[in-house]
Amino acid sequence: MSWLLFAMLFWVVALWVNIRLANSSLSETRAVKLAVPVIFGVTVLVVWEGVVRGLEVPPVILPPPSAIAVKFATSLPILWEDFVQTFIKGTLTGYILGCGSAVAVAIAIDRSDFLQRGLLPVGNFIAALPIIGTAPIMVMWFGFDWQSKAAVVVAMVFFPMLVNTVQGLAASEAMQRDLMKTYSASYWQTLLKLRLPAAMPFIFNGLKISTTLALIGAIVAEFFGSPIRGMGFRISTEVGRLALDMVWAEIAVAAIAGSVFYGAVALIEKGVTFWHPSQRG
Amino acid sequence: MTSDAVIAARDLGLTFQTNDGPVHALKDVNLQIARGDFVSFIGPSGCGKTTFLRVVAGLEEPTAGQITVNGMSPDEARRARAYGYVFQAAGLFPWRTIAGNVKLPLEIMGFTRAEQEKRVKKVLQLVDLEGFERKFPWQLSGGMQQRASIARALAFDADILLMDEPFGALDEIVRDHLNEQLLKLWARTGKTIAFVTHSIPEAVYLSTKIVVMSPRPGRIHDVIESPLPRERPLDIRDTPEFLEVAHRVREGLRAGHAYEG
């Protein structure tokens, strides 16, 4: 009971502190701007811990965060091995291949009406395939290791990237294209100096959507066959052993990796499309 | 055709095929523009003044008659970098600085890096934008952006400047100022300028020759040789000569409209 009371008390105090901070004259300072979300996050963890202990929730249903943290800290080598297998090898490789080829195909599509009518529907078709169905097929084709996971990621990120890039390549204004024509600019000059830069906000939209898609794809694909490492493999086997604290530790790794991945792409976007109204601020 | 005609059009016509039938954007246009002229095209919307400029630039293909620019076809003239084109909006690339935007045509045309720097400096001085090289277009006012776009059109030093309502979106005070600057620039560089406008005072103030056009089909209604001297302070607009020319332009526009019906 004391755990529950402690959790509630902590919650009320933290809420009060945050309200005071947000309304204080310091609310615009960097420290307070950082403190408010941190206090919120800590509160969530404390309440979680208190409720789970207070109500004696079985660890199979929901382990307390402290147990997850202990598991995380004691399993670092395994988590790292899984991270390298699933994220560095599967996700990143697939992401780079998928996004890169989608941009290349988008440029080809944009140049030729024939390809536009032929390839866009094919891209749409591939995007409509359920990952549950394609993943085992990819495992058959490319083997149990990370290559098949990368292939699944390619299939997942290709279409959103393609559609965004095709749309972006149409984003330059007719007047700007006329301007390039008055300079007798070649196709490639117009592409590199006008149309690709103008497409960047769209391309980065696709890149950002693809970060989370890629990670999900790589994890889920491991459910259908994998060497004895990888985040998806670990999740599916540890669930079978009812070791839910390990599952949560893997989820934490996935959440951190996914957020950092997205944040990194968003940061690059800020640098590349600084000129766009949405970034100027 | 006289030999000093920079732009010469003979029986020029352009018909767009649309779903609602053919649209005669230009019909039987005959015009000669001499070297060093400042020619304004004025008329209501749909009279083909912008279309004519686009034909000169090779952005549209005429469907009848002939046109030469520097004695060449518009396409050849474009490839020979015979003209700079200033559009209605500045159309600067927001990811490039002002200097970067002015450099754009120079990069495409393959000028050396040193030459690029030299020319950017020179033309930015010409349009009074020194010190703004490293600014981005969206950090500048509309008038300054349009001046940068003029600098961009001047950068590769073409003999002809084609301007399509460059000051149409600007307020009158800024427009007066830019008109004055444009005249100075014209006097200093000796370029041939073709200038599309909606404004009678602007056309009369700037031009040595005013082409009054009328719509449906787009054609030339009147060509007025301006008796005003080349040296023109802003208050020339209150002189009787100025008002007389303006009157004639207004009459021409009204008569051109009377054809409708």
- pLDDT over threshold 70, residue B70: yes
Q: Which residues of A touch B85 (CB under 8 A)?
A: 178-179, 182
Any domain includes B182 = no
Chain A residues within 8 angstroms (CB to CB) of chain B? 173, 175-176, 178-185, 189, 193-194, 197, 200, 273-277, 280
Stretch A7-15: mean pLDDT, rounded?
93
Any domain includes B141 = yes
CB-based contact (8 Å) between B111 and chain A? no
In contact, B238 and B69? CB cutoff 8 Å:
no
CA atoms of B191 and B159, how far apart (whole Å): 5
Q: How far is B105 from chain A (nearest CA, A)?
A: 6
CB-based contact (8 Å) between B194 and chain A? no
Cα A205 to the center of its chain, rounded Å: 12
- Residues B166, B70 share a domain: yes
Q: Which residues of A touch B58 (CB under 8 A)?
A: 181
CB-based contact (8 Å) between B45 and chain A? no
Are A275 and B89 a contacting pair at CB < 8 A? Answer: no
Stretch A194-217: mean pLDDT, rounded?
93
Q: Which residues of B touch A184 (CB under 8 A)?
A: 78-79, 81, 108
Q: Which of B132, B157, B182 is the last residue of a domain?
A: B157
- pLDDT over threshold 90, residue B185: no
pLDDT value of position B100: 93
- How many domains in chain A? 2
- Residues A105, A158 share a domain: yes
Are B88 and A185 a contacting pair at CB < 8 A? Answer: no
- pLDDT over threshold 90, residue B171: no
What is the average pLDDT value for chain B, to the nearest integer? 86
Q: Phi and psi (nearest 5°) for B203?
A: -60, -45
Residue of B nearest to A177 (CA): B91
Stretch B255-260: mean pLDDT, rounded?
63
Q: Which residues of B touch A269 (CB under 8 A)?
A: none
DSSP state of A223: G
pLDDT bracket for residue A270 (50, 70, 90): very high
CA atoms of B82 and A184, how far apart (whole Å): 11
Any domain includes A24 = yes
Q: Which of A118, A146, A148, A120 is nearest to A136 (CA)?
A: A148
Stretch A87-108: mean pLDDT, rounded?
94
pLDDT value of position A251: 93
- Residues B142, B16 share a domain: no
Are A193 and B87 a contacting pair at CB < 8 A? Answer: no
CA atoms of A55 and A51, how far apart (whole Å): 6
Sign for the CA dihedral angle at A274, A276, A278, A281 comes to positive
Instruction: Name the range with the highest mean pLDDT among A90-104, A225-239, B145-159, B187-201.
Output: A90-104
pLDDT value of position B258: 57
Q: Which of A57, A2, A50, A88 is nearest to A245 (CA)?
A: A57
- Residues B252, B167 share a domain: yes
Residue of A nearest to B74 (CA): A182
Any domain includes A65 = no
Are A275 and B95 a contacting pair at CB < 8 A? Answer: yes
pLDDT value of position A281: 63
**What's the token pair of residue B56?**
């000169």
Stretch B150-157: mean pLDDT, rounded?
88
Q: How far is B57 from chain A (nearest CA, A)?
A: 7
Other CB atoms within a 10 A radius of the CB of residue B165 amount to: 20
Stretch B209-214: mean pLDDT, rounded?
89
Chain B interface test: which of A173, A184, A269 (most B C-beta within 10 Å) = A184
Distances (CA, A) of B194 to A255, B35, B186: 62, 11, 11
Distances (CA, A) of A18 to A31, A41, A48, B70: 13, 12, 19, 74
CB-based contact (8 Å) between B72 and chain A? no
b (16+ CB within 10 A) / e for A131-150: beebbbebbeeeebbbbbbb
Q: Which of A178, A197, A280 sits opposite B59 (nearest CB)?
A: A178
Domain that holds residue B10: 1-82+160-171+190-261
- Residues A239, A153 share a domain: yes
CA atoms of B179 and B237, how far apart (whole Å): 12
- Residues B166, B149 share a domain: no
**What's the token pair of residue B206?**
């700037």
- Residues B165, B60 share a domain: yes
Residue of A nearest to B97 (CA): A275
Q: How far is B259 from chain A (nearest CA, A)?
A: 32
- How many domains in chain B? 2
Domain that holds residue A110: 72-280
Q: Which of A13, A32, A57 is the last residue of a domain?
A: A57
- Residues B69, B40 share a domain: yes
DSSP state of B72: B
In contact, B195 and B226? CB cutoff 8 Å:
no
Tens digits of residue pLDDT in B29-52 = 888 888 889 999 998 887 888 888
Sheet holding B64-69, edge to edge: B21-34, B5-18, B64-69
- Residues B114, B69 share a domain: no
- Residues A238, A164 share a domain: yes
Are A194 and B93 a contacting pair at CB < 8 A? Answer: yes
Q: How far is A137 from chain B (nearest CA, A)?
A: 44
Q: What is the CATH number of the domain that holds B21?
A: 3.40.50.300
- Residues A224, A104 share a domain: yes
CB-based contact (8 Å) between B23 and chain A? no
Q: How far is B207 from chain A (nearest CA, A)?
A: 24
pLDDT value of position A203: 95
Stretch A56-74: mean pLDDT, rounded?
92
Q: Which residues of B touch A275 (CB under 8 A)?
A: 94-95, 136, 138
Q: Which of A175, A178, A275 sits opposite B94 (nearest CB)?
A: A275
Chain B interface test: which of A173, A183, A187 (most B C-beta within 10 Å) = A183
Q: Which residue has the tokens 């097929």?
A: A137
Sequence-ordered strand ranges (E) for B153-204:
160-164, 192-197
- Residues B244, B167 share a domain: yes
pLDDT value of position B2: 46
- Residues B166, B238 share a domain: yes
Any domain includes B184 = no
CB-based contact (8 Å) between B139 and chain A? no
Are B108 and A280 a contacting pair at CB < 8 A? Answer: no
pLDDT value of position A46: 94
Q: Which of A93, A96, A71 is nearest to A234 (CA)?
A: A71
Tens digits of residue pLDDT in A120-172 = 888 788 778 888 888 889 989 998 889 999 999 998 999 999 989 999 998 88
Instruction: Please classify residue A87 by burial: count the beta carbons closer than 10 Å to its beta carbon, then call 0-12 exposed, 13-18 middle and 19+ buried.
Output: buried
Are B85 and A189 a contacting pair at CB < 8 A? Answer: no
pLDDT value of position A133: 86
Q: Which of A179, A197, A277 sits opposite B95 (nearest CB)?
A: A197
Tens digits of residue pLDDT in A223-259 = 988 888 999 999 999 999 988 999 999 999 999 999 9
Other CB atoms within a 10 A radius of the CB of residue A186 amount to: 11
- For B109-144, give the DSSP string: TT--HHHHHHHHHHHHHHTT-TT-TTS-GGGS-HHH
Tens digits of residue pLDDT in B80-109 = 888 989 998 888 999 999 999 999 999 999
- Residues A43, A166 share a domain: no
Stretch B202-212: mean pLDDT, rounded?
89
CA atoms of B235 and A94, how far apart (whole Å): 69
**What's the token pair of residue A33?**
């701007």
pLDDT value of position B259: 52
Are B79 and A173 a contacting pair at CB < 8 A? Answer: no
- pLDDT over threshold 70, residue B261: no
Q: Which residues of A touch B50 (CB under 8 A)?
A: none
Q: Which residues of B touch A180 (CB under 8 A)?
A: 108
Stretch B56-68: mean pLDDT, rounded?
88
pLDDT value of position B3: 52
Residue of A nearest to B76 (CA): A184
